[in-house]
Amino acid sequence: MIDLHSHVLPGIDDGAATIEESLGIARAAVADGIAVLAATPHVREDYPITAATMERLLGDVQAAVAAAGIPLRVVGGGELSLEMVAGLPFEEVRRFGLAGNPGYVLVETPYRGWPLEIEQRLFELRTNGIVPVLAHPERNGEVQAHPERLERLVAAGTLVQVTAASLDGRLGRRARTCGLDLIGRGFAHLLASDAHTATVREIGMSAAAAAVGDRELADWLTVGVPGAILRGEPVPPRPQGRPRGLLGRLRQR
Ligand SMILES: [Fe+2]
């Protein structure tokens, strides 16, 4: 599997604090069946890191992972807030390209509310040749209440990342129901761990893929789409499947 959202870089955000913790996440990722992990540190007002800092720490982690003999490819990225998307030059945004691909950038969904500027910011990225990948909207209360809000964004080319811990229930029933709902509606394109340490929001990608229930759909979410982003290939068409048991789960809401 290919996991394109993690806080594996040491000492710059609320993820790994030390290089040892970075290696702990790397080992946990491999144990969960991950071959490629993107380092996507927060890039926002409280963690205003630069692309140059991300690139330097990425090199440190790649060297440490290789020295420790961990069979994991670590690639770059960033998790940009809407404010940073608005404020940074597009050349700097491209240096935070997801999986090192300057044509994609991971954008953090606000945890509360649904700012009117979301559509505008994502549209600006698209018109500058950057595909936005919206991180974990299933954790946002407005999206949980109105999942159809994502329809226009997705139709306009935004990709949506659902967090693994949402699907297996670790982030609560609402995040799980909404995450499965987004996948069922075709509004979600990839799963990722958003791992912060080896134990807090642990990787859990294999459990999330199992929670999807449909093997072909789970492969598309964990290999097909993230692999296409990694290699700079067109995103493969979504298989027809739906999460197993989705209707039953929705009725429990
Ligand atoms: Fe994150």
Mean pLDDT calculated for residue range 39-43: 98
Residues 223 and 80: their CA atoms lie apart, in Å, by: 23
Ligand 1 centre from 232 Cα, in Å? 22
Helix, strand or coil, per DSSP, at residue 191: strand
Contact 238, 186 (CB under 8 A): yes
Ligand 1 centre from 160 Cα, in Å? 13
Average model confidence (pLDDT) across the chain? 93
Mark the residues whose beta carbon lies below 5 A from ion ligand 1. Answer: 79, 194
Q: Is the pLDDT of residue 201 over 80?
A: no
In the chain, alpha helices (H): 19-31, 51-67, 82-87, 90-95, 117-127, 141-145, 150-155, 164-167, 173-185, 205-212, 215-219, 225-231, 246-251
pLDDT band, residue 249 (cuts 50/70/90):
low
Q: What is the pLDDT of residue 72?
A: 98
pLDDT band, residue 242 (cuts 50/70/90):
confident
Contact 176, 167 (CB under 8 A): yes
Contact 178, 147 (CB under 8 A): yes
Q: What is the pLDDT of residue 245?
A: 62
Q: How many CA atoms lie within 13 A of 79 on its CB side?
A: 28
Ligand 1 centre from 250 Cα, in Å? 26
Contact 135, 99 (CB under 8 A): no
Ligand 1 centre from 108 Cα, in Å? 7
| C-beta neighbour count of 128 within 10 angstroms | 11
Q: In the 8-state DSSP scheme, what is residue 234? A: P
Ligand 1 centre from 130 Cα, in Å? 19
Q: What is the pLDDT of residue 250?
A: 53
Candidate CATH numbers 3.40.50.170, 3.90.226.10, 3.20.20.140, 3.40.50.620; the one for domain 2-251: 3.20.20.140
Ligand 1 centre from 62 Cα, in Å? 19
Ligand 1 centre from 75 Cα, in Å? 15
pLDDT band, residue 116 (cuts 50/70/90):
confident
Q: Is the pLDDT of residue 160 over 60?
A: yes
Window from 166-170, 178-182, 189-193 with minimum mean pLDDT: 166-170
Residues 124 and 86: their CA atoms lie apart, in Å, by: 9
pLDDT band, residue 202 (cuts 50/70/90):
low
Segments making up each domain of the chain, as ranges: 2-251
Ligand 1 centre from 106 Cα, in Å? 9
Ligand 1 centre from 194 Cα, in Å? 5
Mean pLDDT calculated for residue range 25-49: 96
Mean pLDDT calculated for residue range 156-178: 94
Mean pLDDT calculated for residue range 102-123: 93
Ligand 1 centre from 40 Cα, in Å? 7
Q: What is the pLDDT of residue 199?
A: 75
Q: What is the pLDDT of residue 253?
A: 45
List pLDDT tens digits, range 57-97: 999 999 999 999 999 999 999 999 999 999 999 999 999 99
Window from 51-55, 155-159, 206-210 with minimum mean pLDDT: 206-210
